[in-house]
A and B are shown apart, each in its own frame.
Chain A
Amino acid sequence: MMEAIASIAAKTRAAGKYAAIYIVDPALTGRMVEMGYRLLATGSEQQVMALGAKSLLGTMRSTIG
């Protein structure tokens, strides 16, 4: 899978086009940029709200003894 993704980026940039990709796992962001992707999509409302809620509640609950 990663080989295919890298291949597409390489062929796209070689053709003078811009490569973009939807980032499923944010930990892979740097790897995608290294491959040549410049437009990175992520962060739906559901994902942002879930992460925000997890962080907010985690902080609050961590202060409760």
Chain B
Amino acid sequence: MTLIERLKADLTTITAWSTVPDALTVEILSGQGFDAVTLDMQHGGHNEDSVLRCLLPVAAAGKPSLVRIPVGRFDMASRALDFGADAVIAPMINTIEDARRFAAATKYPPVGERSWGPTYAAPRRNSPGPAAWLRDSNAATVSFAMIETRAALGIVDDIWQSRASTASLSVLRIFPSPGPMAPKSTHRLKT
């Protein structure tokens, strides 16, 4: 079951969070009971090379893969999808323009501005051909925008109502983090 199929079915999905840029380690993590695996480039040790290599053991385990890109690296959002990721997580989406740029990088025209080139993704995802890939990719991949500051929290509704969400980005999701909104003395959620 793909990530988008799980979400549409309203299934709870638990993803492991990989920070070690090593394919053998990710292979072991993928073999555990998690429903999906996320490779973290923002605060984790993953880089472009490790993402390219570590998406493979996740796919081999039959699980969806997600990649969290570094702040503002929307070019890497496109590359992660080109490498075969099912979803991309973008941190620090604080403005409607941030959301627009993220959406543009993850969706092919006419929805977004993603450049063509699924060199690794198409074979890894068993694409039947370029036409099918172009037709299906926008709906098959998921883009998560992290809402993690007070500024972003204040404009969540505006982001959802903006062109970035309703037109350029049809699957903008939200991914809040406890960090910047949490009390300064602790990184744990207050219950």
Contacts and interface: CB of A to CB of B under 8 A. Distances in A.
Interface of A: 1-2, 4-5, 7-9, 11-12, 15, 17-22, 24-25, 28, 31, 33, 38-46, 48
Interface stretch (B75-83, B107-115, B172-180): B172-180
B190 A2 contact: yes
Main secondary structure of the interface of A (DSSP, over half): mixed
15 contacts: A1-B178, A11-B156, A18-B142, A20-B173, A20-B175, A21-B175, A22-B17, A22-B177, A25-B189, A33-B12, A38-B6, A39-B36, A41-B17, A45-B25, A45-B29
Given A18-B142, A19-B173, A24-B187, A40 B15 contact: yes
Interface in B125-145: 142, 144
Nearest to B28: A45
B181 A4 contact: yes
Contact of B19 (A5, A39, A46): A46
Considering residues A17, A24, A33, A41, which has the most beta carbons from chain B within 10 angstroms of its beta carbon? A41
Contact of A42 (B7, B16, B40, B157): B16
Contacts, number: 114
Interface in B15-54: 15-20, 25, 29, 32, 34, 36, 38, 40, 44
Main secondary structure of the interface of B (DSSP, over half): mixed
Contacts of A24: 178, 187-189
Interface residues of B, number: 48
B13 A39 contact: yes
Contacts of B11: 38
Contacts of B161: 15
